[in-house]
Structure 1
Amino acid sequence: MSITFDQPRIAAPSLRPAVTRTTYRAVDAPAPVRLTGRGRVAVVSVALAVLSTLAVVFGSAVVATDEAPVEGTVTTVTVQPGQTLWSIAAEARPDADIRSTVDQIVRLNALEDGAPLPIGATLAVPVQD
């Protein structure tokens, strides 16, 4: 009877040493910026706030005319309920063309075309040519 032992095979030593590769990240290079959902909302909110502020500061809602009224030719009228530009123009200058008087009121007060008159607003109205 004979006993045999399994012996592991030993590989022949290689002539070249094993090469391992290591990658290094540069210390000075910043990591890429990644925004979360909350960060995106914050960036958009700040952008909208800046745009809104610029629109308010540089956008003019009321534009005055370059024409200075001649002393005594313009009066002020407070808008009462039920009054229209047509009725105000007819009261101010009954002998003149009402359409031209309405146009002058719109230009003097920088009113938007077709916008309703706010009750209690003070309007400049021409009384003579």
Structure 2
Amino acid sequence: MSTMTLTPSIPSFRTSQVRLTRRGRLVVFVAALLFVLAGAVFLGTSSVASNNESGSEQQTEVIMVGYGETLWGISSDLAEDGSVRDMMATIKDLNALDSSMLVAGQEIHVPVTD
């Protein structure tokens, strides 16, 4: 008995592999980084623009925060009916504040009260 070995004939396709040099990898990285930053800027400006669009304009005035003043103190001076928390929320929304912390010398917009 003879043994017959069949080898499959595989066509020799040359697969081209792309090899990036150090400079090529840097270019790809910088391009991807610029793409991500452009997307972040686009999304950031569109959300700010949509937040500033309101149905009614509210009259505001600019005040400068003095040494030792707090958002609670400013809000309590401005709140007419005792709703200090609502006034704080309004001031935070007008100035796009993330927290209630204010710094002496900071200028903030507050609603005009009669």
| Band the TM-score falls in, shorter-chain normalisation | 0.5 to 0.7
Structure 1 or 2, whichever has the larger Rg, is 1
Matched, 1:41 2:33: no
| 1:102 partnered with 2:88 | yes
* Higher share in helix: 2
Say which is worse superposed, 60-69 or 82-91, in terms of deviation.
Answer: 60-69
Shift of 1:32: 4.3
Cα-Cα RMSD = 3.0
Give CA-to-partner distance per residue, 1:68-123, whole Å, 9 cap, x none. 11x5xx322122333221111122236522111111112222222x2633443322
* TM-score using structure 2 length: 0.62
Q: Distance in 1 between matches of 2:82 and 2:100?
A: 24
Identity of aligned residues (%): 35
Unaligned segments of structure 2, at least 5 residues: 1-15
Partner amino acid, structure 1, of 2:87? T
Give the counterpart letter for 1:49 in structure 2.
L
Provide the C-alpha distance between the structure 2 equivalents of 1:45 and 1:68, rounded to a whole number of angstroms.
42
Distance 1:64-1:122 versus aligned 2 partners, 3 A rule = farther
Letter in 2 for 1:110: A
User: Counterparts of 1:74-85 in structure 2 under 5 Å?
Assistant: 74-85=60-71
Greater than 4 Å deviation, 4+ residue runs: none
How many residues align? The count is 97
Letter in 2 for 1:57: F
2:103, 2:53 → 1: CA distance? 20
